[in-house]
Structure 1
Amino acid sequence: MFAYIMRRVLFALPILIGVNFITFALFFMVNTPEDMARAQLGAKQTTPEMIQSWKVDHGYDKPLFFNADAPGLAKVQDTLFVQESMKLFVFDFGQSDSGRQITADVYERMWPSLAIALPTFVIGLVTNIALALLIVLFRGSALDTATMMVAVAIMSISGLFYIIAGQVLFSKVWHWVPISGYTEGWEGFKFLILPIFIGVFSGIGAGMRWYRSIFLEEMNKDYIRTARAKGLSDLKVLFGHVLQNGMLPILTGVVVVIPTLFMGSLIMESFFGIPGLGSYTLDAINAQDFGIVKAMVFLGSVLYIIGLILTDISYTLFDPRVKLA
């Protein structure tokens, strides 16, 4: 097990380097250090001296990928990409271009993101599996057909529509919940009800169809026909065999998501004014704050890789036949 984990970690290093390279390349294709300096200085008239001083203070005076003026290996090492990437790989996120400590911001903003993401994930998972089991129990019936039509309709509508429609109906028309905002503690629950409900509802269509396909595949296997031949009822077959054996493919989509939950949702947090990591990242993109952008992309990549490793490890817990070589 330990050897497998170490091998996966080593395989992850070139992936993270590639993600960093793409992040640097894409960001500086549409932004220049001069544009970033003007955006951060905020002055109506910025002199070349002010811009150059800002670039030196933040390390943006170095070449991006190749330093032709440096000798030997310094041509590659004395570059913005290598200098900033080395800090990221030891999880030193440093300061944002506006001067804030990124690590402190991440710790502060991860809790509002978790307050939305964790309930949405748990409630959505239980709801989707329960509905999928119900549909499989009545497979081939009019209920099955009607439910699948509704699921496809839910999937076909943009998530922005649910957010805007929910804010109009539940906040502006019925005044049940605040339209946006956030506060800590139990008082903040009233601000979370609507985004959690929208997050669960908008994911029902895709989740229900996916779990239904998993359970239907299990229903057609030989061991299910054997269980029925022994006289077991559909309910006992469904909950005693199908659900248990269907957990392995479900883990693929569940465990990999868990480490990334606190990263937040860009759109949801922005529309509802939740000060989480999603809105933090979006605000950084709008402000051309590359310090935050590169840190969030790197952190998200690390968490996703951790999720993949945890998924493989969980296979061995639910299926003894799976061995990690």
Structure 2
Amino acid sequence: MNLFRFTFRRVLYFIPVIFLVNLLTFFLFFVLNPPDMMAKKILGDKNVTPEAIEKWKKDHSYHLPRVFNSEEKGLSKITQTIFVQKSVRLLKFDFGKSDRNNLDIGKEIRHRMVPSLTITVPMLFLSLIVCISTALIVAFYRGTYVDLWALILCVFMMSVSMLFYIIGGQFIFGKLLKLFPISGYESGVYSWKFVFLPVVVGVISGIGASVRFYRTVFLEEINKDYIRTARSKGLSESVILFKHCLKNAMIPLLTNIVMSIPFLFMGSFLLEIFFGIPGLGNFTIEAIDAQDFAIVRSMVFLGSLLYIVGLILTDISYTLVDPRIRFR
């Protein structure tokens, strides 16, 4: 019951946040970027007549006033506005149609979510296994040459652009060894051939930063009193690290893990673009390139909503793994 009340209060806290994000999104897309300007970008700046602009605005409901319609009566003064028709409807997960080709955005999001998850979910779990294990080993050999060279390698890997890993992986495994296709996607049981290389590239490109972060967390725990007590009882260093230290370092680990939820659904923009994966990241980049603001607006709202869900799950996970944190 305490967990239910705790979660309910957290959800109530974030309702005004969602509304403010929606309001800010509306301001950015319809005040700083008026419908006339949107029409010109979609139709093309050259040889666009005022009649064509007005027709496009009416076809996409952009001819309405922004927040208040003085020509209507009653509640329609509020509902027959761009704010309600284009922004408030996002709160109901009604993403509407694309500005460019009348594509059903909600249906497209559901369709493209699967390719994104086939990349990001394996990437997340593999990255956790590799990076946490490596960080524990580096912390075990702290102050030695193993620790020194591991830090040097991590800094070097952090300094290299992700594009280098992508292009290098495509060249080695796609061009030279011809083990995996460089781009494309196929649903079903053969999808692993297309996602294996992006997953490996994504894991390798994130090792440097993740290992450094987890190493810092473990070293902070190692210097605490309960670790000294465990050593005084004669426990081995490996048991202290892999059992006691890892367990008590769950708070920062969970923060890093749960906050990856938006990334899981939104996909990795660079990986999807360069490997031709038709996921949500690719969908967003294509919409930005085509200046399709209906899609961009929907993806911004969805990303902010997923981020808030990640924050709620983080708060809940804290209370579950650490008994010192009470439901309040």
Q: TM-score, normalised by structure 1?
A: 0.92
Q: CA deviation at 1:65?
A: 5.0
The residue number in structure 2 matching 1:138 is 141
Residue number among 278, 283, 288 corresponding to 1:275 in the alignment: 278
Distance 1:76 1:162 in 2: 51
The residue number in structure 2 matching 1:206 is 209
Encode CA deviations 1:221-261: one digit per residue, 9 max, x unaligned: 11111111111111111112111111122111112223541
Cα contact 2:26–2:87 (8 A) shared by 1: no
The residue number in structure 1 matching 2:151 is 148
Residue number among 12, 25, 36 corresponding to 1:34 in the alignment: 36
Residue 176, structure 1, aligned to residue 179, structure 2: yes
Distance 1:93 1:201, change over 3 A: same
Q: CA deviation at 1:276?
A: 0.4
Cα contact 1:31–1:288 (8 A) shared by 2: no
The residue number in structure 1 matching 2:13 is 11
Paired amino acid for 1:5: T
Cα contact 2:29–2:297 (8 A) shared by 1: no
Distance 2:323 2:299 in 1: 36
Cα contact 1:256–1:304 (8 A) shared by 2: yes
Paired amino acid for 1:309: I
SS of the residue 2:110 aligns to: helix
Encode CA deviations 1:273-319: one digit per residue, 9 max, x unaligned: 10001111111111121221111111111111111111111112111
Cα contact 1:163–1:198 (8 A) shared by 2: yes
Distance 1:84 1:222, change over 3 A: same
Distance 2:205 2:263 in 1: 19
Distance 1:156 1:88 in 2: 39
Paired amino acid for 2:121: L
1:149-298 matches, within 5 Å, as 149-258=152-261, 260-298=263-301
The residue number in structure 1 matching 2:310 is 307
1:99-110 matches, within 5 Å, as 99-110=102-113
The two structures, once aligned, show a CA RMSD in angstroms of 2.4
Distance 2:78 2:159 in 1: 47
Moved more, 214-223 or 47-56: 47-56
Distance 2:28 2:163 in 1: 26
Identity %: 52
Encode CA deviations 1:4-42: one digit per residue, 9 max, x unaligned: 323222222222233223333334577543343355457
The residue number in structure 2 matching 1:47 is 49
Encode CA deviations 1:99-141: one digit per residue, 9 max, x unaligned: 1111111111000000000010000011000000000111100
Encode CA deviations 1:118-169: one digit per residue, 9 max, x unaligned: 0100000110000000001111000100000110111112212221222222
Cα contact 1:20–1:294 (8 A) shared by 2: no
Cα contact 2:180–2:197 (8 A) shared by 1: yes
Paired amino acid for 2:246: L
Cα contact 1:109–1:277 (8 A) shared by 2: yes
Distance 2:37 2:134 in 1: 51
Where does the alignment leave 5 or more consecutive residues of structure 1 unmatched?
A: none
Distance 1:149 1:64 in 2: 55
The residue number in structure 1 matching 2:97 is 95
The residue number in structure 2 matching 1:125 is 128
Q: CA deviation at 1:71?
A: 8.4
Distance 1:119 1:220 in 2: 33
Paired amino acid for 1:141: T
Cα contact 2:120–2:263 (8 A) shared by 1: no
Paired amino acid for 2:9: R
Distance 1:168 1:22, change over 3 A: farther
Distance 1:259 1:281, change over 3 A: closer
SS of the residue 1:12 aligns to: helix
The residue number in structure 2 matching 1:116 is 119
The residue number in structure 2 matching 1:59 is 61
